[in-house]
Structure 1
Amino acid sequence: MRKIFLILLAFAILLVADEAHEIMQKVDNNIRGKNIYMKISMKVVSLNHERNMHMETWSQGSKKSFVKVLYPPKDKGITFLSLDNQMWQYVPKIERTIKIPPSMMLQKWMGSDITNDDVVKQSSIVDDYNPKIVKRDGNIVTMELIPKDDAAVVWGKIVSQIDTSTYTSKKDIFYDEKGVEVRYFVYKNVKKFGEYYLPTYWRVESVDKRDNYTEMILEDVKYDIEISEKYFSKSALKRFSR
């Protein structure tokens, strides 16, 4: 009897683990699709100062992404490229391409509360983290994501609240390697784009600077369109900055 109980327990654990992976796969698929184009407006608030930006992004899967800043005029034409866990930036004012080292992935991107790692989507949650369901409340499932031993990621843990009616995140809490809460994302205004669901409002706050925050609104989203491979080469940084 004890042996049968242990077998059933092991089977139940495997089923829960499979469910956790399936949920995260669906969330990841909603975020990326086969490929995705977005036009984004961003507001950065810090020390009673407000800064507004606009940008375009093109992405294929988790390994290729290209970002172009459209506004403000002083930053117009700055571009970013991510390829296979490497990142470059082109600054038109000095006509220089800069490679961003892995040690700078946690640095703030363009003065906002998001990081270089967020912008280029360097890490895939599905590939780099082991998910575990820790709480259920109706359609809302709370997941704990622990990095795999060989994963090159910048976070020690992520806790994500997921709405399983759309397979979109409601809130992500990011922890450092010591288990200290560092920042969180809040997502709202979920819209359907073809077969995909995506929150169109994102807010990012740091735990130690609650008066500072970054808001992003996805103004235009196109999934699974034809995106030229020309965006995903280092020569694209200068070519598409114009």
Structure 2
Amino acid sequence: MKGYVLFTALLSATSLYGQSARDIVMAADSKMRGKTSLAEIVIQTVRPAWSREMSIKTWMKGSDLAMILIKLPVKDKGIVFLKRKLEVWNWTPSLEKLIKLPPSMMSQSWMGTDFTNDDLVRESSIINDYNHSFLQDTTIDGRSCYVIEMLPKKDAPVVWGKLTVCIDKQDYLELYSRFYDEDGLLVNTMVASDVRIMDGRLIPTRFEMIPAGKPNQKTVMIYKTVIYNRQIDDGFFTTESMKSINQ
């Protein structure tokens, strides 16, 4: 009888959520990423006394391969970042210098923005490097959302000590995320908005990364175009391609 009661309780929990917290995070990640994606993005870095704008182009394939090309401003034009499985590389054409970024640099600012190197190339995996659990549901912009806490697995190569994400129940849109350090202190909040259809897929197209305790400071990432699920050969994601991609 005790076994039957336990089985019934587990069955009820499964019916309540339908999917595990990990499944939902995976669905949201897949919704934004696709099997492959090619995107044109504008990044606005805002500070109390100044602001600047950057244009980039990204190619991504699965969770292991990514290329980021800076197109503007002119002084940074041609700088390329490559992720290939667990390796991250940077090519600076003006110096003709290729650098392999060590894991210690993943938590550092990407090109002076409020995004980290890890945020852009996702060296760590939000699916495999964290344990996922449900918190109390919430509503964002009229959308009912799961709230999921992600705690890093032991010895996982991650930047954050904890994340909480809010994912829309209907369309699996990650609308709100909080990033915490190892001491549990809030570091950044990311707010996604301007939900629209891009290449037949409903996604947020505006992401604001807001650092805690720094008034009038944020970085805004705006997707101008996204093309999903087109063929990109693995051979494109090489250090040799980095040097010729802007030619």
**Alignment TM-score > 0.5, same fold:** yes
Task: Assess, with a 3 A threshold, how the Cα gap between structure 1 residues 156 and 232 changes in structure 2: closer, same or farther.
Answer: same
> Would the aligned equivalents of 2:199 and 2:226 in 1 still touch at CA under 8 Å?
no
Give CA-to-partner distance per residue, 1:122-177, whole Å, 9 cap, x none.
22212222221111246211111112224211111110111112101111000111
Quote the residue 2:7 is aligned against: 7
Name the amino acid aligned to 1:108: S
Please state whether the residue corresponding to 1:93 is helix, strand or coil. coil
Name the amino acid aligned to 2:88: M
* 1:185 maps to 2:190: yes
Question: Counterparts of 1:8 and 1:195 in 2: how far apart (Å)?
Answer: 40
Please state whether the residue corresponding to 1:211 is helix, strand or coil. coil
> Would the aligned equivalents of 2:192 and 2:204 in 1 still touch at CA under 8 Å?
yes
Residues 136-147 of structure 1 aligned to structure 2 (within 5 Å): 136-137=137-138, 139-147=144-152
Name the amino acid aligned to 1:154: V
Give CA-to-partner distance per residue, 1:160-213, whole Å, 9 cap, x none.
111112101111000111111110110001123356332100100110213211
Name the amino acid aligned to 2:108: Q
Quote the residue 1:88 is aligned against: 89
Question: Counterparts of 1:161 and 1:58 in 2: how far apart (Å)?
Answer: 26
Q: More deviation in 202-211 or 3-12?
A: 3-12
Quote the residue 1:126 is aligned against: 127
> Would the aligned equivalents of 2:106 and 2:118 in 1 still touch at CA under 8 Å?
yes
Question: Counterparts of 1:11 and 1:164 in 2: how far apart (Å)?
Answer: 20
Please state whether the residue corresponding to 1:149 is helix, strand or coil. coil
Question: Counterparts of 1:31 and 1:19 in 2: how far apart (Å)?
Answer: 19
Name the amino acid aligned to 1:229: D
Please state whether the residue corresponding to 1:209 is helix, strand or coil. coil
Give CA-to-partner distance per residue, 1:21-59, whole Å, 9 cap, x none.
221121011121111111000110123211110000000
Question: Counterparts of 2:228 and 2:246 in 1: how far apart (Å)?
Answer: 23
Task: Assess, with a 3 A threshold, how the Cα gap between structure 1 residues 17 and 157 changes in structure 2: closer, same or farther.
Answer: farther
Residues 175-214 of structure 1 aligned to structure 2 (within 5 Å): 175-194=180-199, 196-214=201-219
Task: Assess, with a 3 A threshold, how the Cα gap between structure 1 residues 149 and 13 changes in structure 2: closer, same or farther.
Answer: farther
> Would the aligned equivalents of 2:64 and 2:86 in 1 still touch at CA under 8 Å?
yes
Question: Counterparts of 2:120 and 2:177 in 1: how far apart (Å)?
Answer: 16
Question: Counterparts of 1:137 and 1:88 in 2: how far apart (Å)?
Answer: 39
Please state whether the residue corresponding to 1:189 is helix, strand or coil. strand
Task: Assess, with a 3 A threshold, how the Cα gap between structure 1 residues 13 and 130 changes in structure 2: closer, same or farther.
Answer: farther
> Would the aligned equivalents of 1:167 and 1:197 in 2 still touch at CA under 8 Å?
no
Unmatched tracts of structure 2, length 5 or more = none
Quote the residue 1:215 is aligned against: 220
Name the amino acid aligned to 2:5: F
Unmatched tracts of structure 1, length 5 or more = none
Please state whether the residue corresponding to 1:42 is helix, strand or coil. strand
Quote the residue 1:173 is aligned against: 178
Question: Counterparts of 1:144 and 1:124 in 2: how far apart (Å)?
Answer: 15
Quote the residue 2:50 is aligned against: 49
> Would the aligned equivalents of 2:198 and 2:225 in 1 still touch at CA under 8 Å?
no
Quote the residue 1:153 is aligned against: 158
TM-fit CA distance, 1:229: 2.9
Please state whether the residue corresponding to 1:236 is helix, strand or coil. helix
> Taking structure 1 as the reference length, what is the TM-score of the superposition?
0.93
Please state whether the residue corresponding to 1:125 is helix, strand or coil. coil
Task: Assess, with a 3 A threshold, how the Cα gap between structure 1 residues 17 and 169 changes in structure 2: closer, same or farther.
Answer: same
Task: Assess, with a 3 A threshold, how the Cα gap between structure 1 residues 143 and 111 changes in structure 2: closer, same or farther.
Answer: same
RMSD (Å) for aligned C-alpha atoms: 1.8
Please state whether the residue corresponding to 2:195 is helix, strand or coil. strand
